[in-house]
Amino acid sequence: MKRFGKLLSIVLAAATLISTLAACAGPGTAASSEAASTPASAADGAKKELTIGVSLLTREHVFYNNIETALNSKAKELGVKLVVQDANQDASKQLSQVQDFITQKVDAIILCPTNSAGSKSMVELAEKANIPVLTMDIESDGNTVCHVATDNKKGGELAAEYLANNVLKDKKGNAAVITYSEVEACIQREKGFTEWLQKNAPDIKVIDIQNYSGDQAKAADAMQNMLQKHDNLDVVFCVGDPAAMGALSAIKSANKQVKIIGFDGNPEGVAEIKKPDSLWVADVAQDPEKIGATTIQAAVDTINGKTVEKLIAIPPYIIDQSNAK
């Protein structure tokens, strides 16, 4: 009986101790472990919103308006926040925008450099902040993660081929180029055009090349100058539709019949091509929607640690009266 009483006392004492420990458990024991695990699992399930800074060359060109629309559409689809700025073709302004993106600690930067040869410092600033930089449409001399653009040299080749096969069909005559020498993409268009003619139609001579620096009024002045210098000019290749619009106004003012091949595929260019007996005979069309969407996807992939191609080239195509819409 004594032994039974002693055993009972031990059992009761143990029960009391367990009860006391449970009551004193507080926030540091099993009860709180369950509570602590809830925020962790919620955090694991939540996705961090990505923020991407974009500095456009300009908002004055329809091409960039179309790119911006595509950027916003793809960003919405992917759940990405965009901070889009207009550099307005001003390198100092673009540098300031990049610095602001770095201060905001964006996850990536998409850059359309105002000057291909002057953007390396911006890329390096972002690199120091561990922010990847991608370029779009215009290449940088900096070491960017990825460049997405029209295959510009191929576009120049398409323009030259169209000229030889559809405008100067006997493959003889004189051509000129209105270029944009500050921008690598446009240099590639010029190069594709001139090199294709040298190789495939050497009797079509490029007798003048002038720079318009992205300014339509300067393109009109350049075209006027060419017309005064060359009475025998047959066609002008313009590396952008703003240049072609400026050239068209000068040609009409001079009452000349110089044909125009543009580059962009902007609505105003297509409208001119559709007109009967138009001097603007063709345009090398880009795909701004695909350029914008592809760049955003490449930026998101980069942020998420995926490997992207260093160069993603978007094929251009010819628009003339046969397919202008």
- Site of tokens 């290449």: 139
Q: What is the mean pLDDT of residues 71-96?
A: 96
pLDDT at 1 over 90: no
CA 268/CA 81 separation, integer angstroms: 31
What is the CB neighbour count within 10 angstroms for residue 105? 11
Q: What is the structure's pLDDT at 156?
A: 98
Minimum mean pLDDT among 25-34, 180-189, 305-314: which range?
25-34
Residue 93: both structure tokens together: 């302004």
**pLDDT at residue number 32:** 37
- Structure confidence at residue 47 (pLDDT): 61
Q: Which of the two residues, 101 and 1, has the higher pLDDT score?
A: 101
- pLDDT value at position 10? 41
Q: Mean pLDDT, to the nearest integer, of 4-11?
A: 43
Q: Global pTM?
A: 0.75
Provide mean pLDDT across the span 128-146. Answer: 95
Strand partners, 178: 210, 238
User: Is pLDDT of 145 > 50?
Assistant: yes
- Determine contact, residues 57/112, Cβ cutoff 8 Å: yes
Residue 95 contacts by C-beta under 8 Å, 6 or more apart in sequence? 121, 122
Average pLDDT over residues 144-171: 97
Q: Which domains does the chain have, with CATH numbers?
A: 51-150+288-314 (3.40.50.2300), 152-285 (3.40.50.2300)
- Predicted confidence at residue 2, as pLDDT, reads 43
Q: Which helix H or strand E contains 55, and what residues bound it?
A: strand 51-56
DSSP, res 24: T
Which residue type sits at 90? D
What does the pLDDT average to over 131-145? 95
Element (H, E) at 205: strand 204-211
Percent of the chain with pLDDT over 90: 81
If one compares 18 and 116, the residue with the highest pLDDT of the two is 116
Question: What is the Cα–Cα distance from 280 to 62, expressed in whole angstroms?
Answer: 18
Using the predicted structure, report yes or no on whether residue 18 has a pLDDT greater than 60. no
- Model confidence pLDDT, tens digit, residues 163-219: 999 999 999 999 999 999 988 899 999 999 999 999 999 999 999 999 999 999 999
What the block records as the tokens of 169 is 């069909």
Given a cut of 90, is residue 61 above it in pLDDT? no
List the structure tokens of 298.
């490449």
Mean pLDDT value across the chain: 88
Instruction: Please write the tens of the pLDDT for every residue from 67-82.
Output: 999 999 999 999 999 9
Contacts of 292 (CB under 8 A, 6+ apart): 66, 67, 68, 69, 70, 71, 73, 74, 136
Q: Does residue 95 have a pLDDT over 50?
A: yes
- Cβ count near 285 (within 10 Å): 23
What are the backbone angles phi and psi of residue 296, rounded to the nearest 5°? -60, -45
